[in-house]
Amino acid sequence: MSPEKIRLNTEWLCDCGGCHVSLVDLHEKILNVLESVQIQKCPVLTDEKGYPEAEIGILTGSIRTEHDRHAAIEMRKKCKTIIAFGTCAVYGGLHGAGLAHSREEIMDHVYLNSPTTRTNFIPATEVDGLEKLVTPIDEVIEVDLYLPGCPPHAHFIFEGLSALIEGTAPRVRQESVCGGCNRTMKKSDVTEIKNSADAVADDDICFLSQGFLCLGSVTLDRCLSPCPNHGIMCTGCAGPTMQILTEPNRDIRTEVSERMARLTEIPSEVIRKSMEQSAKTHYAYAMATKMIGDKPTFLIRKWIAEVEAS
Ligand code: SF4
Ligand code: SF4
Ligand code: SF4
């Protein structure tokens, strides 16, 4: 190893593996990174079991098991700079939706009552114990750089890594997904919420104007807005905008329902109710973070319980 190379460790916690795959999505730019970086530990590339000292540590996934907690603490001890990489690491991620259920319900569903993986027993020692909550990593260790996205787009990964390698501060951007969306918001006479399975959307007009729920306006752009530009509503996988995160009375449901009500003839209460009924979808990615969970308007467990009881 060349002595001037920056040492990099990566580790995955509770996640889908997609964030590690996204590192490979740098394509030829990965060669620029490898010129400057020595990858010491990376679950998809190396067989390093320990935690060697490193300048940069990338953590993907959130903390849900004893392994996750141990790994995050060891990475923090050994790495000078820790990057919370991906929406799971930053906000808890998609599996934050598990917070709508107790640990016992989850174990029961996975090991006893799943039609595809029925084992008839809950393993006591073979798998790591499940913690009670899904925890974003900065509630356990100090984080130096946040890079949300599910996974983050290669553009932002390269930008962040390059800044760290060069010793400069990464650019902070606060644009929402709407900023990169080519659709036009305009007032319509739409009176009902539509479902993408039942109706075809116009390619040029904002989904909200057409009656389809889209979270682009409350979602931070860490993806270059691919979904609305390819005919799919944004579900908020990169996590909320800074406005939603930092302003206590701003809430995803209220912001989207009021904007959509202004753009259509659908009453905002109807839109709010619809979002509450699909709360597991519309809030899943950031449900585990206290920044969302502590909001006074945020009653997700109540909404989900109401839907599941009906
Ligand atoms: S942020 Fe998304 S892509 Fe990354 S590990 Fe979590 S679920 Fe997978
Ligand atoms: S709400 Fe969705 S469709 Fe409308 S401009 Fe924003 S990202 Fe585009
Ligand atoms: S769902 Fe939204 S935040 Fe996620 S990739 Fe699509 S446009 Fe980006």
SS (H, E, C) 248-302: CCCCHHHHHHHHHHHHCCCCHHHHHHHHHHCHHHHCHHHCCCHHHHCCCCCCHHH
Most informative mutation of 21, 22, 150, 235 for ligand 1 (most atoms within 8 A of CB)? 150
Q: Measured from the CA of 184, which atom of ligand 2 is nearest?
A: 5
Q: What residue has token string 């939706």?
A: 97
Pick the ligand that lies closest to the CA of residue 218.
Answer: 2
What is the pLDDT at residue 2? 52
Complete domains list, the chain, with CATH: 6-166 (3.40.50.700), 177-309 (no CATH)
Render pLDDT for 243-289 as a digit per residue (tens, 0 to 9).
888 777 778 888 999 999 999 999 999 999 998 888 777 777 887 77
From 240, 218, 14, select the one nearest 131 (Cα to Cα): 14
Pick the ligand that lies closest to the CA of residue 156.
Answer: 3
Q: Is the CB of 218 under 6 A from ligand 2?
A: no
Q: Is the CB of 177 under 6 A from ligand 2?
A: yes
From 241, 304, 240, select the one nearest 276 (Cα to Cα): 304
Q: Look at 85 and 160; give whichever has higher pLDDT.
A: 85
Point out the least confidently predicted range of 53-67, 102-116, 250-264. Answer: 102-116
Mean pLDDT value across residues 170-182: 89
Q: Is the CB of 286 under 6 A from ligand 3?
A: no
What is the pLDDT at residue 291? 65
